[in-house]
Each structure stands twice: as C-alpha cells, then as structure tokens.
Amino acid sequence: MKDALTQIKSELGSNAVIVSTREIRESGYGLMSKPLIEVVAAVDYDQDAFMKRMHGGKAQAGKGDEWNQGAQFLPAPAHIGDEIVELKKMLKQLMNQGMVTPSNPLREKLLSRGVRESLVDLILSKLGGDASEEGVKNLLSKLIRAEDPPSGRIRIFLGTTGVGKTTTIAKMAGRAVLSEGKRVALITLDSYRIGAIDQSRIYAKILNIPFFSVTTPPELKTALNQLSSNDLILVDTVGRSAFCAEYVRQLIGFFDGIDACRFLLMPVATRDREMDTITKTFSPLKVDRMIFTKSDEAHTLGSIVTHNMIHRTPVSYITTGQRVPEDIEPASSEKIIARTLGDA
Ligand SMILES: Nc1nc2c(ncn2[C@@H]2O[C@H](COP(=O)(O)OP(=O)(O)O)[C@@H](O)[C@H]2O)c(=O)[nH]1
Ligand SMILES: [Mg+2]
C-alpha cells in the first residue's frame, strides 16, 4: 500500500486523492499467488490544458465556465460508437438467453398492482410477446374464481383477530334480516372465555334475532339444534393468533361433522407471503370461500388476484368499509379485475 501511495504521489502529484482501494488475488497462480492491491486515485485536472489537447491547442471553454458548458464541446472518442454497438449485441444475447427481461410497461403495471411476480410472468408468457391489457383482462376473467357461497343454513367465519369477522357477520345478518326477511341467528364461539362477545350480542339485539355464546363443542351442537328453524345461522369465532396450532386444533374440534360454509376472512392489504401462511394455517378447517375485507384500505385488489390464482378458493364477498350493513359486496371477477388494473 505504501509503495502504491508513493507511486501515485510521484505520478499524479501531491493533490491526488484516493477513490478506492481493494485487495485482489490473481487467479491462476494457485497457492503461490500474492495478493495485489488495486488503488484508484484521481486528481483535479487543468481544464484549459485538457481542452487544448482535445482541440489541437485551441481552448474552447474558458477557465471560468461551468463544467457542463465545457462538456458540450467534448467530442465523443471514435471508439465509443463501436462499444455501444457491441453492448447492444451483448444485451440482445442476454435477452435471448432469458437472462435479462426487457422493461415492459404492462409487466410493471401488474407488479405495481400487487400481482405476484411469478404470476405476472406466467400470465405474460401465456399471452405471448404482444400481450395487451385487454388480453390480460380476458385471461384473468377466465381464471379468477368468484362464487356465491353454497346455499346451506350455517356459515362459519374464520380468520385472525381484527380482520373483520364480527363486523362482516353484522353486515350479512343485517342485509338478510332487513332486505330479505330471513330468520337469522348469531352464535359466537368464545372458546377462550375472553368475553369478547359483547359486540355480536349488541348487533343481535339491534336486529332482534337470537344470540348464543358457546364455549364447548357440545354447547355449539345444542345451540344449532335449537336453531333448526332458522334460515341462516352465522357463527363467529373469537380467538387467538392463527399461528397458535392449538387454536386451529380446537376449532376443528368444534366444527367437526357440522355441515356449513366455512369462510376465511383476509384483509386485502395483507402482505403477499403472509396471506399464504395464514391460508395454510387455516387449511385444516377446509375453507370453502374467501371474504376479502377492508378493500377501502387497499390501493388495488391485486392481492386477491394473487391469492385466487395460487390457492383457488373462490371469493364470495369483498367488504368495503366500516358501515353496517352497507359496506359489503358480492365478489365478481369483473370487479376484481377492474379494480386491479383500473386507474381507481
Ligand atoms: N376500513 C374498514 N374497516 C373494517 C372493515 N371491516 C371491519 N373493519 C374494522 O376492523 C376492525 C375489526 O373488526 P372486527 O369485526 O371486530 O374484527 P374481528 O376481530 O375479526 O371480529 C373494526 O374496527 C371494524 O370496524 C372494512 O371493510 N373496512
Ligand atoms: Mg370479533
């Protein structure tokens, strides 16, 4: 290093500055190889002298000129053109080998709308080189599964805490009672006796419908038997983090043998990989349909497209705000696609 610095001083003068240093090993000499030191140094230069040399002794930019003004006069060295041609050739080769993907505005758009990268590439490769937004929409409309829940009487609402289970139940119950004149009942499964049932009890009171809070599987069966004349029974679950395996095991114990539609609720803005983990955690409960919640808090519905294409569980509803019972919509692939690709 000392030798290098001495050499720099003698060649570039005492104003030279060190830009970088690194140790390199020359390959090919095996164990005998000695480390080499690479030192990059720079020195302020005399612009006048430089210009003179570039233009055969005629300075074209004065010393006081801004650097970028002076730069306009610099002719491109002749070899640059050849190098650009060479670089273009290399880039083309890499693209042909699939090592570089050309920037594609449609690809960028799909990515920015929250569709997972591997799916974006799959969609675009399926559509071929001249994929258009229309083509993407058509393909997605064939792939996305949005379906009403099956017509059974019992619906179970699953999901981690705070995803909107109780609120969604209140919306669904409200609509069924007020617009469809159905006989609805609510059951809350408070398996941890944490007393978080007041919210559902209040909704039941407002709608003047039966409400049960149960803490064991036999109690749930008894409540369901008592409600055999109701058209719609909505079962809320209160609990802990879904990452507690014990929690999911307990829920299986409650719902074993019960013929019901099992909804998994998931906020639209849940991070991509987190959705996979949560879905996997709840999968032993045999989820029938998805309800995506809090779409009003998400910029796009791309996460629904991703989830749907990966997990294939049909989406039944999307909730759009906190108002009960207004803020819930039946899902449709057109809506999901429009709100994924649209400007909204
Ligand atoms: N912005 C928004 N908030 C919602 C939506 N659905 C539920 N919430 C809110 O999310 C919070 C948790 O909802 P809650 O139903 O208690 O979740 P639970 O723990 O799964 O029962 C409450 O403040 C709700 O008002 C929705 O679609 N949009
Ligand atoms: Mg709740």
Q: Are 210 and 229 in contact (CB under 8 A)?
A: no
198: Cβ contacts below 8 Å, ≥ 6 apart: none
- The one-digit pLDDT tens for each residue of the chain (344 residues) are 778 888 888 888 877 777 777 776 655 544 555 667 777 888 766 667 656 666 665 544 444 444 444 444 455 666 777 888 888 888 777 777 766 666 789 999 999 999 999 999 999 999 987 789 999 999 999 999 999 999 999 999 999 989 999 999 999 999 999 999 999 999 999 756 555 567 888 999 999 999 999 989 999 999 999 999 999 999 999 866 666 778 899 999 999 999 999 999 999 999 999 999 999 999 999 999 999 999 999 999 999 999 999 999 999 999 999 999 999 999 999 999 999 998 65
Residue-level pLDDT at 22: 75
Find the 319 Cα to ligand 1 centroid distance in Å: 9
Q: How far is CA 210 from CA 185, 226, 284, in A?
A: 5, 10, 30
| DSSP tag of 146 | B
Report which ligand 1 atom has the smallest distance to the Cα of 265. 20
Residue 16 burial (C-beta neighbours within 10 Å; 0-12, 13-18, 19+): middle
Residue-level pLDDT at 67: 43
Report which ligand 1 atom has the smallest distance to the Cα of 160. 20
Report which ligand 1 atom has the smallest distance to the Cα of 293. 27
Find the 200 Cα to ligand 1 centroid distance in Å: 13
Residue 277 φ then ψ, to 5°: -65, -45
Q: How far is CA 28 from CA 24, 32, 35, in A?
A: 13, 9, 12
Nearest one of 321, 311, 247, 243 to 281, comparing CA atoms: 243
Find the 161 Cα to ligand 1 centroid distance in Å: 10
Name every protein residue with a CB atom under 6 angstroms from any ligand 1 atom: 159, 161-167, 293-294, 296-297, 319-322, 327
Residue-level pLDDT at 56: 62
